[in-house]
Structure 1
Amino acid sequence: MPLEIVTVPCLSDNYAFLMRDGASGTAALVDAPEAAPIRAALDARGWSLDLILITHHHGDHIEGVEELRAAHGAQVVGAKADAHRLPPLDRAVSEGDEVAVGESRGRVLDVSGHTIGHIAYHFADDRAVFSADSLMALGCGRVFEGTHAMMWESLSKFRAMDPETLVCSGHEYTEANARFCLTIEPDNADLQARAAAVKAARARGEATVPSRLSEELATNSFLRACEPALKAAIGMEGADDAAVFAEVRRRKDRF
């Protein structure tokens, strides 16, 4: 039975994600920007909370952890490399470690760049990845602590996944990201269509997260830094992929 995934809007533009294994009833949360909307989503479904999976240390991803831990007795999981900046962990994990949500199995990925110690949780059999502020809808996180080369290495891990993977990222930044990506690849027809769809969805008050990896591979300028068409669009034909990514990221920082 596949994981049931619920998107929970938090704060002004954050997303948390609940997932539940139907066979066992085990439920997990990825990130806790604030407790109230997450508790409401759990109560509305009659779910308990067994696990809290943290992606990175930024406050807008962890502020609700302690309240939810106290309310549900949930076990808290986070990166060993980031443990000194996270709420107390019941389990510290690293690249390649397995995380079980009932019968579903996820793998921990080190996706440092936005922060050192940022991790993602990839549930390959369920075709879902919880990427927070690494890979985002039409974007990626700003490189605060790592290097551009490190961030490109992290993004390359997502490129290798099944294109039908659901990308559960941490913020509703998609419309602004689309405007930027159009400055990089203005002639990308897939991007033009997606940007229009995103604009219409936001006008209706609809979320644009999660997205499909196939969409990101076709339209996300950060994830496409290795593509010849993108390199040509910014005058960097033949350049190293990481250097192209760095140029795209720097342009976004100034956008």
Structure 2
Amino acid sequence: MEVQGCVAIVTGANRGIGEAFVRVLIEEGAAKVYAGARDPASARHLEEQFPGKVQAIALDVTDHGQIAAAAAACPDVSVVVNNAGAFHNELLIGAADMSAARNEMEVNYFGPLAMARAFAPVLKSNGGGAILNVLSVGGILAAPNMGGYSPSKFAMRAAGTCIRAELAGQGTTVTSLIVGSVDTRMAAHVKGAKEAPEDVARAAMRGITRGTDEIDTDRFAIEMRAAKARDPKGLERQMAKAVHVKEPSTGR
């Protein structure tokens, strides 16, 4: 399918990569974008910048009632961008309890799954369409210092494969976006060079136009996949060291 003329819904659209998706979709000719956010007021600036093109809607991906309401209110959607994410910077064993890991799984796995289930009939009625799942390098190699975040992204990557098989018959493509180091608030603690969110969104457009199963959206993602292929155990040992590095922001 083509981006030109499509109607998209983007979760977590009020900032970061989600906001970049809204901008790039409009830039590349989308007819309309529903900007989903827990507080739709936080996405009003996009409505103002793109009058008639962007509509902010209340959408918390952990609230199945809101997801169902969104699917009913947006019957013209042909592209679903599952972008909303949670990262609590807690360890699996070292955390005081499992609440952070549970929430990361709710937002990063069950949320996109619920969106796919709710919008699959909508996509079918509109010719098949596309689902883009915004994942992470943490979804192709386990990052011990990321606690529940990395396992949740692994889970959604596997789910994407299953959903792709289920929806192939109705012509819906499902693309996993492997995102590396991006200049967003969620990645504020990460040091080093970071990509612009808009560049990641532009790279992801191939998932719509080509139906690509998986896309490494930036240089860091490409380099990490290559490092894993060269020496997976060496990379695992290197990443394990990060668990013991004290971060000023967390005291670890």
Q: TM-score range by the shorter chain?
A: 0.3 to 0.5
> 1 or 2 for the larger relative contact order (CA 8 Å, sep ≥6)?
2
Structure with the higher strand share, 1 or 2? 1
Please give the TM-score of this superposition, normalised by the length of structure 1: 0.41
Structure with bigger helix share is: 2
TM-score relative to the length of structure 2: 0.42
